A and B are shown apart, each in its own frame.
Chain A
Amino acid sequence: MSPGTVFALSLSLLAAILFEWLALALFGYLALPLLAAITVAIPALMLAAAWTLGRIKPDFFSSLRKDEAQKTGANSPSTGIFPEGAFHDLRAPVRGIDGFATALEEDYGNNLDDTGRDYLRRIRSECGHLRGIIDGLQQLDSSMRRPLALTETDLSAIAEEIIQALREAEPGNQVETRVEMGLSARTDPALIRILLVHLIGNAWKFTRDRPNARIEIKTGMRNGKDVFMVNDSGAGFDMAYAAKLFEPFQRLHDPSLFPGNGLGLYTARKILERLGGEIWAAGEENRGAVFSFFIPQDKAKR
C-alpha cells in the first residue's frame, strides 16, 4: 500500500469518526445502524473519489501494468535496467581507487613493507573484480536496451570465431572442439554472439587443464523443441543446484578456481527471454555439462 493510500484512508476514517460524534449527539443510540453504514461508506467514497482524481493508484494496478510492459517488451526495443550515465558514474570511483593504489605502489612502494604492498595488490585486485561486475551489468543492460535486429544468423560461424579468439588468448589450453556445420536461425546476431560467448566461454573455463577436454556445439531436441546445445566434458555441476545456475551472482564452484563476474548465465537467460526463447542446463559433477537453448522462429519473425 502506497503512502498516498494510507494518508487518504486515515483522512477518511477521521472524517467518519467526526461525523459519528455529531450523529450520536443529535440522535443518541437510535443512530447506531446509520453510523455503521457511514463508517464503511465514507472511507469507501473518499477512496473512490481519490482514485478517480488519479491521486492514488492501488499497488495491484501498477503491478498489472508492469507485467503488461514486460510482455510487450519481449520483442521491442527496451529501456534497459539502469538509467543513462549510471555506468560512467560507477566506473569513475573504481578508476580513481585503482589509479591511486597503482600510484602508491609505483611511487611509494619502497616505503612499504611486504604486508603493505600486499594490501595494495589486494585493493587493485578487488578493483579488477568490481570492474568485471560493472562490465557484466553494462553488457546485461545494453543487451536489454539495444533494438533487436532480426536476420538469418549463422551460429556455426559465430561459434567458430569465439573458439578462435579463445585459442588465441590461451594457446596452451588443449581442448578438442567440434562445431556442427550450418547451425542457423532467424534471430539477433549481436545478442546471439553475447549468448555464445558466455556459453562457450564457460565450457572453455570448466574444461581448462582437464585431460581429453572436449567442447561440442550442435543441434538436438529438448522438451519436443529443436534446440542448440553447447556440450562440454568439464567440471560439470550437481543437478540439485541447477535452478541456481541462471540466477545472478550464484556460484556452484570456487571462484578462485573458476573466476567470473557471476552474471554470465544470467545474461544468457535474459537474452533468451528477450528473444522469446528458453535455456536449460544439465550436468553431472566431474562429467561435464550441457546447455541447450531454444530460439522460437515464429516469434522471432515478428
Chain B
Amino acid sequence: MTLNDSHAPLEILLVEDNENDVILARRAFRAAGLECNISVARDGVEAMEFLRKEGRYSSAPTPDIILLDLHLPRKNGREVMEEIKKDSVLKCIPVILLTSSTEEADISEAYGSLASPPKDKQDWVEKFTKVLSKILKR
C-alpha cells in the first residue's frame, strides 16, 4: 500500500521486547485515532526475518514505518539499523528509534523520508507526534 491510499491502515513494525511497552504503544495509536496494523518483533533477529519475509514471516506485510527499540535480545537495535541501511530495498523504509531523543528535527526528518506522505499530512503528523511523545523511551 502507499500512504496516499488514505483508507488503508498504516503498516507498522514495532521492534520491542518489553510486553508492557507493546501494550502501551498499541494503546497510544488507538488513543490518537490512528488506524494502523501493528506487527511486533520481539528481538533484532525476528525483526530482520520479518523484513526479509523469511520463514514464518513469508506473508508478512512490508511496513510503512519501523519503530525500533535499541535494547533488544540477540541482535540489538543499532545492528538492525545497520542491516536495514545496507539493504537496497529496506533502506527506503523510515525507521524511528525509540530513544529518549524528542528532538523535533529527528521526528520531522523521519516524516520527510516517508515515500508518499499521507493526504492530510498535517493532521497525520500531529497524531503521530502525539503517539511518539508517549512511546519514546524516557
On A, residues with C-beta under 8 Å from B are: 85, 88, 91-92, 95-96, 99-100, 103, 106-107, 131
Contact = CB atoms under 8 A, between A and B. Distances in A.
A85 B71 contact: yes
Nearest to B19: A96
A91 B99 CA distance: 12
Given A92-B21, A95-B138, A96-B18, 20 more contacts: A85-B71, A88-B71, A91-B137, A91-B138, A92-B18, A95-B20, A95-B21, A95-B24, A95-B137, A96-B20, A96-B21, A96-B24, A99-B21, A100-B20, A100-B24, A103-B24, A103-B27, A106-B31, A107-B27, A131-B138
Q: What 5 A-B pairs are tightest by C-beta distance, nearest first?
A: A96-B20, A99-B24, A88-B71, A103-B27, A92-B18
Interface SS of chain B: helix
Chain A contact surface mostly: helix
A89 B31 CA distance: 27
A103 B18 CA distance: 17
Contacts of B31: 106
10 contacts: A91-B137, A92-B21, A95-B20, A95-B21, A96-B20, A99-B24, A103-B24, A103-B27, A107-B27, A131-B138
Contacts of A96: 18, 20-21, 24
Contacts of B20: 92, 95-96, 99-100
Interface of B: 18, 20-21, 24, 27, 31, 71, 134, 137-138
Nearest to A97: B20
A101 to B, nearest CB: 11
A144 B31 CA distance: 41
Nearest to B100: A91
Nearest to B135: A99
A91 B31 CA distance: 23
Contacts of B27: 103, 107
Contacts of B137: 91, 95
Nearest to A131: B138
A218 to B, nearest CB: 34
Contacts of A103: 24, 27
Nearest to A89: B71
Contacts of B71: 85, 88
Contacts of B138: 91, 95, 131
Contacts of A100: 20, 24
Nearest to B20: A96
Contacts of A91: 137-138
A131 B138 CA distance: 8
Contacts of A95: 20-21, 24, 137-138
A99 B16 CA distance: 16
B37 to A, nearest CB: 21
A85 B31 CA distance: 31
Nearest to A94: B138
A88 B31 CA distance: 26
Contacts of B24: 95-96, 99-100, 103
A291 B134 CA distance: 39
A100 B21 CA distance: 10
A85 to B, nearest CB: 7
Contacts of A85: 71
A121 B24 CA distance: 18
A88 B20 CA distance: 14
Contacts of A107: 27
A85 B71 CA distance: 9
A135 to B, nearest CB: 9
A104 to B, nearest CB: 11
Most buried by A among B20, B21, B134: B20
B59 to A, nearest CB: 32
- Which of A88, A95, A106 lies at the interface centre, i.e. has the most chain B CB atoms within 10 A of its CB? A95
Nearest to A88: B71
A92 B134 CA distance: 14
